[in-house]
């Protein structure tokens, strides 16, 4: 396999066996709930189609995306069965696509509900909906009270119950602080959600699928699992150390040039690095256009021949310089690991995120489209 990868300047390896492992780890934590796999942003930049198809083979039947375009592409990958939910607002011009491709839509406000009703009026078309509740994150959804229904939700319950064109398939909210050791806010969100669902049922509106847990909620709050758990980042093996989950993406490039730099010489744009000694410097064939974050300038590392090579100077658009003075056997065209394992050393997306003062989500989603995606299953590259 290594020989086949030598033709790529920069590439990611997506390990589908690790994905299957992660699905299994999450399933073992559930008692009755099903996985709602979040594959928005092209499967967190892993390739939604192949990722979803693999999870479908692992028994996952519920998927979530951000918009209609993502949903349509996904439908062609998993066939006619399985639920696809658009978590974000859908434009009225795309409602017909929801009907055509059997896509479930989110209803998060009275305005959205009225828009759907207007579009469906006088037709036999049916759209499945999930009602979004705002339990404290204040992003989308109908505002919930601790006790009873708001006047708005009482009216919404009546309208949906009376409409033959809408199928109330699900209801959900989103935990915004589930990873916090202080669980008070998360418990408050869950209690608001549960109370509102029960009140809606008393008002005559019930739902087949209830879901509030994101990845953190799934792994840390088993009592809140309900019917579905919305797993995103956990499926891709990021963020949850010691959880048994495995990263499914590694990010590789190569040495494109080796240079000897004398003490006192500068390296890179802006003269931000001055050699404190005679150095051996490798220029690797990845830069910020590939998703190798510029914030790593003068502080990040890569792995070459199982050893760490510090970044020296600013990360450029297409190239980056690293110090290989302590790796005397490093040669031109050697493989370079940006994210992943080499020998006994590992660099994770979380490691890079900490250096960039961000989260692993942004690191993996930021890997550029010109970086080849290589999918591996059972140790073999698949096309």
Q: What is the pLDDT of residue 237?
A: 97
Per-residue pLDDT for 9 more than 90? no
DSSP letters, 66-124, are SSHHHHHHHHHHH-SSSEEEE-S---GGGHHHHHHTT-EEEE-SHHHHHHHHHHHTTS-
pLDDT at 140 over 90: yes
Would you say the pTM of this structure is higher than 0.75? Answer: yes
Range 62-67, long-range pairs (CB < 8 A, 24+ positions): 62/34, 62/35, 62/36, 62/37, 62/209, 62/228, 63/36, 63/37, 63/38, 63/39, 64/36, 64/37, 64/38, 64/39, 64/40, 64/230, 65/38, 65/39, 65/40, 66/40, 66/41
Q: How far is CA 316 from CA 248, 268, 290, in A?
A: 27, 8, 10
On the question of pLDDT at 368 being above 80, the answer is: yes
Task: Give the pLDDT confidence score for residue 4 in this predicted structure.
Answer: 62
DSSP at 234: G
Domains and their CATH numbers in the chain? 31-236 (3.20.20.10), 249-382 (2.40.37.10)
Mind telling me the catalytic residues?
Answer: 40, 269
pLDDT-derived band at 1, boundaries 50, 70, 90: low
Closest CA to 247 of 364, 377, 73: 364
Q: Over the chain, what is the mean pLDDT? A: 96
Would strands 249-261 and 335-342 be described as parallel, antiparallel, or unpaired? antiparallel
The per-residue pLDDT for range 154-186, each reduced to its tens digit, is: 999 999 999 999 999 999 999 999 999 999 999
Mean of pLDDT values over 233-254: 96
For residue range 308-318, list pLDDT tens digits in order.
999 999 999 99
The model's pLDDT over 11-63, given as tens digits with 9 standing for 90+, comes to 999 999 999 999 999 999 999 999 999 999 999 999 999 999 999 999 999 99
User: What tokens does 22 get?
Assistant: 């992660």
* pLDDT > 90 fraction of the chain, expressed in percent and rounded: 94
Mean pLDDT over 211-217 rounds to: 98
Sign of CA dihedral 61, 86, 362, 9: positive
Confidence of residue 5 (pLDDT cuts 50, 70, 90): low
For residue range 248-305, list pLDDT tens digits in order.
999 999 999 999 999 999 999 999 999 999 999 999 999 999 999 999 999 999 999 9
């Amino acid at each position: 396999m290594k020989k086949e990868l030598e033709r790529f300047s920069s590439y990611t390896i997506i390990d589908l066996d690790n994905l299957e492992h992660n699905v299994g780890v999450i399933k073992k934590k559930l008692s009755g709930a099903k996985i709602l796999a979040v594959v928005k942003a092209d499967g967190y930049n892993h390739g939604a189609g192949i990722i979803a198809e693999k999870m479908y083979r692992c028994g996952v039947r519920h998927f979530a995306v951000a918009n209609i375009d993502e949903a349509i592409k996904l439908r062609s990958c998993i066939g006619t069965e399985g639920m696809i939910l658009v978590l974000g607002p859908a434009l009225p011009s795309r409602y017909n696509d929801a009907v055509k491709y059997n896509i479930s839509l989110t209803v998060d406000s009275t305005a959205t509900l009225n828009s759907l009703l207007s579009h469906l009026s006088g037709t036999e078309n049916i759209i499945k909906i999930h009602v979004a509740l705002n339990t404290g994150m204040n992003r989308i959804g109908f505002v919930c009270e601790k006790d009873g229904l708001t006047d708005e939700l009482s009216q919404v319950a009546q309208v949906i119950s009376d409409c033959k064109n809408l199928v109330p398939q699900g209801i959900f909210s989103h935990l915004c602080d589930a990873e916090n050791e202080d669980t008070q806010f998360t418990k408050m969100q869950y209690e608001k959600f549960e109370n509102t669902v029960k009140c809606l049922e008393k008002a005559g509106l019930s739902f087949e699928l209830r879901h509030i847990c994101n990845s953190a909620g799934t792994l840390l709050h088993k009592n809140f699992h309900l019917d579905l758990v919305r797993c995103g980042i956990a499926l891709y093996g990021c963020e949850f150390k010691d959880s048994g989950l495995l990263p499914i993406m590694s990010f590789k490039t190569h040495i494109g040039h080796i240079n000897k730099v004398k003490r006192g010489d500068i390296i890179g744009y802006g003269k931000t690095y001055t050699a404190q000694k005679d150095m051996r410097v490798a220029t690797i064939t990845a830069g910020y256009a590939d998703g190798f974050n510029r914030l790593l300038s003068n502080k990040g590392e890569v792995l070459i021949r199982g050893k760490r090579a510090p970044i020296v100077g600013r990360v450029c658009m297409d190239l980056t310089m690293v110090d290989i003075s302590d790796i005397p056997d490093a040669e031109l065209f050697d493989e370079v690991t940006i994210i992943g394992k080499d020998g006994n050393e590992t660099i994770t997306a979380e490691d890079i995120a900490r250096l960039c003062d961000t989260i692993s989500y942004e690191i993996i989603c930021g890997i550029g489209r010109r970086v080849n995606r290589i999918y591996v299953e059972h140790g073999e590259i698949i096309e």
